Structure 1
Amino acid sequence: MGRRNTVLNMVGFFIFAMAFMIIATEATTYTVGDSFGWNTPPNETFYQDWARNKTFFLGDELIFNISGTLMASDVSKADYDNCTKVVSGIQGSGNGTVFTATLITSGPHYYICPTDDNCAKGQKFSINVESTNSGASTLQPHHSAIAQSIGIFVALALYFVTNAH
C-alpha cells in the first residue's frame, strides 16, 4: 500500500510540474507605451525608456494602440537610426486602431512612427528579443511545449505505474 501512495504522490507531482512548464512557456503581451499608447511622446526618450527595463522573448506580443493618423512600422536599424519614413510590417491609422506584432525572430527589432516627424520626436524604440528554447532563432509553436510536457508526464507515469508491483 505504501508503494501505491508513493506512485500516486509522484503522479501528482508530475501533473503539477507539467502545469508549471506550460505556464512558464506562455507569451507575454505588452501594450507599447502602457496607458499612454502609441502617440506622439512627451519627450524623445519616452518609448526607449518604456522598453528599457523589459525582457522580450519569442512569442511575446506588442500591442500598438494607435490614435489619430499615426502609424507603426517595423524597420531596419538604418531606417530606425535615420528615422526614414518607411511604411512596413505593422501599420495603419485611425482612432482606436490596434495592431499586434508577435515576436517570431530573436535578435534586435526596431519600431518607428513614420508619420510626419514623430520618429525624430522620439516615437520609436528598439528591443532585443531573446530565445527561450536553447538558442533557437525562430519561434517554436507553443503547442510543441505542451505536447512535450504531456509526453514526459505520460512516460513517467507509465514508468511508475508499471514498476509499482
Structure 2
Amino acid sequence: MVAFFSCAEATNYTVGGSEGWKIPSTAGAYSDWASQHTFEVGDVLDELEIMFDFDSSNNDVADVTKEDYDACNTDSPFTVLSTSPANYSPDTAGDYYILCTTAGHCSQGQKLAITVTEPPSGPTSSPPGSPPPPSPTTGATTSMPSVGSSLGIARLVLLESILMDLLCLLFS
C-alpha cells in the first residue's frame, strides 16, 4: 500500500526541448532529440506523455503510417492534434510516426519517429519455441486463484488508484 503515499506521476517529454515543435533549424533535429530519450509504455501509476508545444495557428501534430511519414504524405493521418500544448500518450509498445500537416513543414524536417518499448520490469515472455517453465517439485502444490479473488484484487487496485488521484488533487 506504499502507493497511497506517492501521487501518480507521468513520464513527460517535451518534443524538441525548449525549441518546441516547429520547423527545425537542422533536418535531423527531431531524430537527434528522440535518440537521446528512451520511451517506455507506462503503467497505471506512470503514464508516458509526449508533449508538443507549438504555435497552433501554423502547426499541428499528426500520427501517420511509416509510409506516409517517409513520403511526408499528410492526406490520411490517424489523428490530428491542433491545439497546443498537445499531449500524445502511446499506450502500447511499437513504432510511432508523427509529423506536421502544414504544407512544406514535414519536408523541412518537422517530423518525429519514436519507438516505444515495454518497461524493463514489465511482463516477460518466453521466446517462441522455448519449453514451458518447470513444474513445482516434491510436495509443492499450486492452485489457481478463483475468479472472485482476482476480481476483488482488481477492484481494490482500481479503488486505490481513484483514492490516490483524489489525494493528489487535494494536496497539489
Q: TM-score range by the shorter chain?
A: 0.5 to 0.7
User: What is the total number of aligned residue pairs between the two structures?
Assistant: 119
**By how many angstroms is 1:66 displaced?**
1.6
Which structure shows the bigger proportion of residues in helix conformation? 1
CA contact (8 A) 1:90 1:101 kept: no
Q: Structure 2 stretches of 5 or more lacking a match?
A: 42-46, 126-153, 161-172
Indicate the RMSD between aligned Cα atoms, in angstroms: 2.6
Partner in structure 2 of residue 44 of structure 1: 27
Q: Structure 1 stretches of 5 or more lacking a match?
A: 1-14, 137-143, 151-165
Aligned counterparts, 1:127-138, within 5 A: 127-132=114-119, 133-134=122-123
SS at match of 1:66: coil
Aligned letter for 1:108? D
Aligned identity (percent) is: 32
SS at match of 1:54: coil
Partner in structure 1 of residue 67 of structure 2: 78
Aligned counterparts, 1:1-165, within 5 A: 18=2, 26-58=9-41, 59-67=47-55, 68-86=57-75, 87-92=77-82, 97-132=84-119, 133-134=122-123, 147=157
Give TM-score, length-normalised by structure 1: 0.63
Aligned letter for 2:123? S
Change (3 A) 1:110 1:65: same
Q: Which runs of 4+ in 1 moved over 2 A?
A: none
CA contact (8 A) 1:106 1:131 kept: yes
Give TM-score, length-normalised by structure 2: 0.60
Find the aligned partners of 2:15 and 2:124 in 1 and give their Cα distance. 26
